[in-house]
Amino acid sequence: MDLTPAELTLLGLLVEAPRHGYELEEVITARGLREWTEIGFSSIYYLLGRLRDRGLIAEAGSDGPARGKARKVFAPTPDGVRACARAAEEAVATLRPVFPPVLVGLANQPVIPPERLRAALARRAEALAAKIAEVRAAARPDAPPFVRVIFDYSLGQLEAEQRWLAAYRGEPDAPRREA
């Protein structure tokens, strides 16, 4: 039973603790999960329905009235816990291709005038520095280790690109990579 990254993310959050849709949104926002998986606020309930229909989660009660209506709390079924574990292990172990648009741009750089290419690379360097600062600010030292490792991985990826970009742009003191 294959799970999409969004389904696996929600299922994993429910394995942590039973939650209702609004609480899932709060955790997604607090942990910056939208940085690495596509879960829109409006898709949470759709995804919960899919997981429920597949027998991976079930209603586990309700959480007090919210604006006059109780919120349904969902929890994983035993099948859901097993599916989450299998899918998470597979996600960790398997390399999958990524298709960053920057590679398409670099493949077509001969058509970009040199001064515009330099300006584009400078904008990318600024955006990377801002993103690194944002991720560092969001990474809470009191977060559980499995949450901190996500921020560490993200920072590692961003910092690796930052080092590559500095070397590519020929910046002084940029680390050089031997081919």
Q: Phi first, then psi: what are they for 167, rounded to 5°?
A: -65, -40
Q: What is the pTM of this model?
A: 0.77
Q: Is residue 5's pLDDT more than 80?
A: yes
Bridge-based pairing of strands 19-20 and 69-76 is antiparallel
At 172 the pLDDT is 64
d(CA 154, CA 166): 18
pLDDT tens, position by position, 86-137: 999 999 999 988 889 999 999 999 999 999 999 999 999 999 999 999 989 8
At 175 the pLDDT is 61
* Residue 156 banded pLDDT, cuts 50, 70, 90: very high
Q: Are 163 and 175 a contacting pair, CB within 8 Å?
A: yes
Stated length of the chain: 179
DSSP 42: G
For 15-39, what is the mean pLDDT? 89
* Residue 153 banded pLDDT, cuts 50, 70, 90: very high
Which of 57, 69, 46 is closest to 19 using CA atoms? 57
Token pair for 120? 């584009």
**CA gyration radius for the chain?**
21
Tell me the domain boundaries of the chain: 5-93, 101-168
Token pair for 96? 């999958």
State percent of the chain over pLDDT 70.
90
Q: Which three-class secondary structure state does DSSP give residue 37?
A: coil
Q: Which three-class secondary structure state does DSSP give residue 36?
A: coil
pLDDT tens, position by position, 68-77: 566 899 999 9
**Which option is the CATH number for 5-93: 3.40.50.2300, 1.10.287.470, 3.30.70.260, 1.10.10.10?**
1.10.10.10
Which of 63, 77, 62 is closest to 11 using CA atoms? 77
Average of per-residue pLDDT values in the chain: 89
At 146 the pLDDT is 86
